[in-house]
Structure 1
Amino acid sequence: MSLHSNTSRQLRVVAIGGGTGLSTLLRGLKRYTTAPPGVTIAPCDLPCHIRELSAIVTVTDDGGSSGRLREELNMLPPGDVRNCMVALSEDEHLLSRLFQHRFRHGDLEGHSFGNLFLAALTEVSGDFAQAVQTSSQILATRGRIYPSTTANATLSARMDDGSLVSGETNITASKRTIRELMLSPADASPLPETLDAIATADLITLGPGSLYTSLITNLLVRGIPEAIAASRATRVYICNLMTQANESLGLSAAQHIEKILNHARARGLAKDAKIFDYALINTATISAATLDQYAREGQTPIAADLDRIRDLGIEPITGNFLHEGDVLRHDYEAVADSVLELALKR
């Protein structure tokens, strides 16, 4: 079914992830949503296929401005949530400049305005999740944003040499390769609204984003993998374009999926349970200049081992999902179009 056909079907969409990958995807999905109540937007020639858009965002960052606010104010890290709010806002250009602005001097040096905005709302409301919803209303975001858990959760990782590294910043900075990721407290729970969104979704996406610290971390939250497995939604894994230092160097697309499934099963997901129906894999050629740039960090394009993905019971969807600029990103319009088409076909 074409996205531009005269269909009245309206989808409920849940996007799970973190970092720049999730906010990039949300920019593409936002084009297909209706405006929030009371907000007038310019006419759009795209069909509005999304009636409800929900983002489930990892909250384990402990570095930079987010880490400082987390330590000093005992609040959840706001950085990834802030990026999603900007991506879903009505006036993204203005808000992006304001919310991403970092102070350069004094005690506020290094803090972004958006992080401080969420910190202030958290103090006013006494609850981070409520602060996120209130700020979303103020900014007229075209979707709802949920932290994956409201527990003050931290990450630890077992590395390839057997050592244990604690804290997301230390894990990312390590020169070793991650073998196993763990969440503390181990019984960290999601919001009821998160599980409700997953249960009623027509489309659920995971990715793109750092394999462990943006994707797997969400599936370590108690109840989320089981909710995805029980959902009747179209479930799509969006594979990264390049391998990433200490998270996925040398891993193929199928191996990314296997790492995700292994962690979900270690948390109690049944061995035969499915959490993906499709995997979106880029097969377009990346320019030599970009490849050289990433090769300096040991990063290479993720191998599209399609038969191995099919052996996992997942159908690969291939195509050109590239956007090459100063850095390599997904083409959010192409990705959004593809995942919505998959959901509409079902």
Structure 2
Amino acid sequence: MFFSGGSALRDISQHLPSITRNSVHMVTPFDGGGSSQLLRDALDIPAVGDLRSRLVTLAEPGPAADFMAHRLPKTDASGAEIAQLRRLSHPLLRAIPGPTRQILATDLDTALRHLPPAFDFSNASIGNLVIAGGWLAQGGPLTTVLARLSRVLQVRGTLRAVSDANLHIGAELRDGRVLHSQRLLTGKEVAPLDSPITRLFLSDGTSELPASAAPLGAVNQNLIAKAELICFAPGSLYTSLVASLLPSGTGRAIAASAVPKVYLPALGHDPEALGHTLADRVDALLSPLRQDAGPLPATAFLSHVICDQRQPLDDCDEVSRRHQIPCLRLQLADPTSTRYDPARITALLSRMAAPSSCPTAPHLR
């Protein structure tokens, strides 16, 4: 089972079906930027961008997945693609076999009919529009929409939103500022943060909400209970990972599980982790889990922190001293890459999920 955002786990997710089609992916619906936010503003729906990204990654390759992955041009003076969408004559749609094409076309048409005439389609994701149309047609929840599309796209795994709530995330910074949107935290659409994040919370866009505003559903709790391994996956520290742990009940469900629980910190620069050591990142992950489950030891939520061998040894030692968790340094990425090697990661997690096969620090460091 993976807790993560949408695109951060793309390479690993693409490799997973070669070893299993039973992986479970818990993804946040709280995105507040890009084309997802435009749809949220226009249709009053949860964010679908991260969910669409993982849906496409896990889908059986073919015309339907290609259609869902397609983005419209950032500039389209003639409006040709938009016109094709409205006529349901887009060439990528027409390449899809009949029954599947009908389902996707119906959801797409529903979204287009509900959008205002002046809606900005620049760089719009067709997959986002399809999911939005499914939400509108069925009146939600995301659980139902994703299950239906997973069957249509022959998704090789289980994709779940961590919550069906139509909410945002907010953050408190060390300098006292409080921000109420994901887009203000990522450093992609506005300038990167100049003060570290100290706390993440659920928001209605203007005010902080309790974790109970987005409860973890019974199906999600059951999936956590049945997982053979829980992985806190690479990605932006707060908006991808910590955000997925905010719904109430998440910490209790994870603490109740006795399986290996692994944190794979992101490689490369993460503007959301400004001022954070590796041990601080572990603190950030543990914070919402302890708020939910109580002041349990770190080992209730994490059994291992596993990072690439380029991570300084002192950083790993600090994790072990502060949290009493093994921190292992392994060759998990090419020396010239800022991404984990999917084959190495999936092989490692498969071994750890097997009983009596958890790695230990002495022979893997």
TM-score (norm 2): 0.76
Instruction: Tell me the residue number matched to 1:89.
Output: 59
Q: In the aligned structure 1, how far is the partner of 2:250 from the partner of 2:9?
A: 17
Aligned to 1:308: 318
**1:67 aligns to what?**
37
Moved more, 113-122 or 271-280: 271-280
How big is the shift at 1:232? 1.8
Q: C-alpha distance in 1, partners of 2:230/2:293?
A: 20
Partners of 2:182 and 2:158 lie apart in 1 by: 25
Deviation of residue 223 (structure 1)? Answer: 0.5
Correspondence for 1:101: 70
Q: CA deviation at 1:234?
A: 1.4
Give the Å deviation of 1:324.
7.1
Classify 1:21/1:269 alpha carbon distance in 2 versus 1 (closer, same or farther; 3 Å): farther
Residues 15-26 of structure 1: matches in 2 within 5 Å? 15-26=2-13
Q: Is the 8 A contact 2:289 2:301 kept in 1?
A: no
* Aligned counterparts of 2:157 and 2:312: Cα–Cα separation in 1: 31
From the superposition, tell whether residues 120 and 303 of structure 1 become closer, same or farther in structure 2 (CA, over 3 Å): farther
Aligned partners of 1:200, 1:206: CA distance in 2, in Å? 16
Aligned to 2:19: 32
Residues 59 and 198 of structure 1: is their aligned pair in 2 closer, same or farther, counting only changes over 3 Å?
same
Match of 1:6 in 2: none
Unaligned runs of 5+ residues in structure 2 are 80-119, 204-208, 359-365
Measured after TM superposition, the shift of residue 268 of structure 1 is 4.3
Cα distance in structure 2, aligned partners of 1:243 and 1:64:
21
Report the counterpart of residue 321 of structure 1 in structure 2.
Answer: 332
Distance 1:330 1:183, change over 3 A: same
Cα pair distance change 1:164/1:121, threshold 3 Å = same
Contact 2:307 2:330 in 1 (8 A): yes
Shift of 1:24: 3.0
Query: Would you say the 8 A contact 1:17–1:58 is kept in 2?
Result: yes
Higher helix share: 2
Q: Report the equivalent of 1:205.
A: 231
Q: Deviations for 1:125-156, whole angstroms, at most 9, x for unmatched residues?
A: 22122111111110101111111111112111
The yes-or-no answer on 1:340 pairing with 2:350 is yes
- Aligned counterparts of 1:191 and 1:126: Cα–Cα separation in 2: 18
Q: Measure how far apart 1:304 and its partner are.
A: 6.0
On the 8 A contact 2:242/2:285 being kept in 1, the answer is yes
Counterparts of 1:188-337 in structure 2 under 5 Å?
A: 188-245=214-271, 247-272=272-297, 274-284=300-310, 305-311=315-321, 312-323=323-334, 328-337=338-347
How far does residue 282 in structure 1 lie from its aligned partner after superposition? 0.4
TM-score normalized by the length of structure 1: 0.80
Across the aligned residues of Structure 1 and Structure 2, the Cα RMSD in angstroms comes to: 2.1
* Pairwise CA distance, 1:303: 6.9
Aligned to 2:197: 178
| Deviation string, structure 1 residues 99-142 (Cα, Å, up to 9, x no partner) | 23221235422211111111111122221221111111101011
Query: Where does residue 53 of structure 1 map in the other structure?
Result: 23
Higher strand share: 1
Structure of larger gyration radius: 2
Q: Name the residue aligned to 1:49.
A: none
SS at match of 2:67: helix
Aligned residues: 297
Aligned residue type for 2:195: R
Distance across 2 between alignment mates of 1:333 and 1:269: 36
Structure 1 residue 262 displacement after superposition: 2.6
- 5+ residue gaps, structure 1, are 1-13, 35-51, 285-300
Relative to structure 1, the CA distance from residue 250 to residue 283 in structure 2 (aligned partners, 3 Å threshold; closer, same or farther) is farther
The DSSP-based 3-state class of the residue aligned with 1:103 is coil
Contact 1:243 1:249 in 2 (8 A): no
Structure 1 position 154 matched with structure 2 position 179 = no
Q: Distance in 2 between matches of 1:121 and 1:108?
A: 18
Secondary structure of the structure 2 residue equivalent to 1:328: coil
1:75–1:119 CA contact under 8 A, matched in 2: yes
Deviates more, 1:303-312 or 1:60-69: 303-312
Q: Kindly tell me: are residues 304 and 78 of structure 1, through their superposed partners in 2, closer, same or farther at Cα, counting changes over 3 Å?
A: farther
Which residue number in structure 2 is paired with residue 110 of structure 1?
A: 123
